Amino acid sequence: MKELEAATHLSSSSQGIQSLETAFSILNCFKEAKTPLSVSELSKRMEMPKNKIHKYLVSFIRVGALIQNKKDSTYAMGPALIELGLVALQQFDVAKIAKPHIREFSKQINHSVALAIWSEGGPIIAEYERSNKPIQVEIQAGYRFPLLMTALGKCFAAFLPSSQVQSLIQREIDNYQLDEQVVEQELQAIREEGVSFRNTLFAGIPGSMSVASPIFDYTGKMVAALCLIGFTGEIDTSPSSLNVLKLKEKANQITNQLS
C-alpha cells in the first residue's frame, strides 16, 4: 500500500507529459462508449478540435492501438490494446494485491485471516495469515474445502454464477443430506447481507467459527473471499458486530483496488 500511495503522490505532484495524458483520455472515450466512434463524436466528447483529434488517431493506428472502419469513418480499439490488456490481467493477481491487506487486517484485529480463490475443482486457500494468539488455527495454502459447510464456501456458492457452482452445490446437498430449500434460503440471505458464517464444528475443517465476505473484480464478478477464522467465543458473527463490519470493509477495499 505504501508503494501505491507513493506512486499516487508522485503522479499528482510531478510534472508529466500532457500529450500522453490527452492520448489516454481519448482511449478512455472508447472504453466508456463501448462502440466505434467518429472524429466528430470524439471531438465533442473531448471538447477538442477535429484536426487535433485526427493527429492522435493517426498515431494510434500506426501503433495498432486503434483500427479504422473506412466505410463509415469510425474508429475502434485495436489489437495492441487487447495484447496490453491481456498482459495486465496476467499481472493483476488478486492474491498478490490482497496479501498486504490480509497481513495488515490480521494484525489489526488479532485474528487468523484467509483469502480463498476459485479453482477448477472448487474454492481453495490462496493466502493465510495467522494471529498472534497462543492457540492457532492452522491452514495451508492450497487447502480445498466444501462449499456448503464453510463460510468461505458459502460465499462462492452465493455469489458465483449458478452454472459454475450448481453441480457442486447439488453434490454436497446429497452427500451431507441437506435440505435444499434451507440451503437456498441461506444463500439468498448471504447475497443480501454480503457476508456468510459458520458457527459449528465440521470434520476436517480448522476452527469452529468463521465469517467470510466476497471480493469482486472490475467486471463485478466474484474472484475471491476474505475470511476470519477462529474458535467459539473468539469472533462475534452477528451481522452488526465490529468483526463483521471490519471484514466487509476490508473486502470492499480490495474490491475497489481491483476495480
Position 6 scores a pLDDT of 39
DSSP state of 200: S
Cβ atoms of 94 and 258 within 8 Å: the answer is yes
- Cα gap 117→152, rounded to integer Å: 9
Query: For the chain, which domains are there?
Result: 2-90 (1.10.10.10), 93-258 (3.30.450.40)
pTM for the structure as a whole:
0.63
What is the per-residue burial (b if ≥16 Cβ within 10 Å, else e) of 39-54? eebbbebbeeeeeebe
Angstrom distances, CA of residue 69 to CA of 37, 101, 112, 151: 10, 45, 55, 51
**Each residue of 137-153: pLDDT tens digit?**
778 788 888 899 999 99
- Cα gap 204→139, rounded to integer Å: 11
Cell 451481522: give the residue. 239
**Chain-wide mean pLDDT for the chain?**
85
- Paired strand residues for 114: 128, 227
- Cα gap 190→184, rounded to integer Å: 10
**Each residue of 115-141: pLDDT tens digit?**
999 887 788 898 899 888 777 777 878
Position 89 scores a pLDDT of 55
- What does the pLDDT profile of the chain (259 residues) look like in tens digits? 333 333 434 444 456 788 899 999 999 899 888 889 999 999 999 999 999 999 999 999 999 999 999 889 999 998 888 777 766 655 557 888 899 999 999 999 888 999 999 887 788 898 899 888 777 777 878 888 889 999 999 999 999 999 999 999 999 999 999 999 999 999 999 999 999 998 776 655 656 788 999 999 988 999 999 999 888 777 787 888 898 999 999 999 999 988 7
65 Cβ partners below 8 Å, 6+ apart? 27, 77, 78, 80, 81
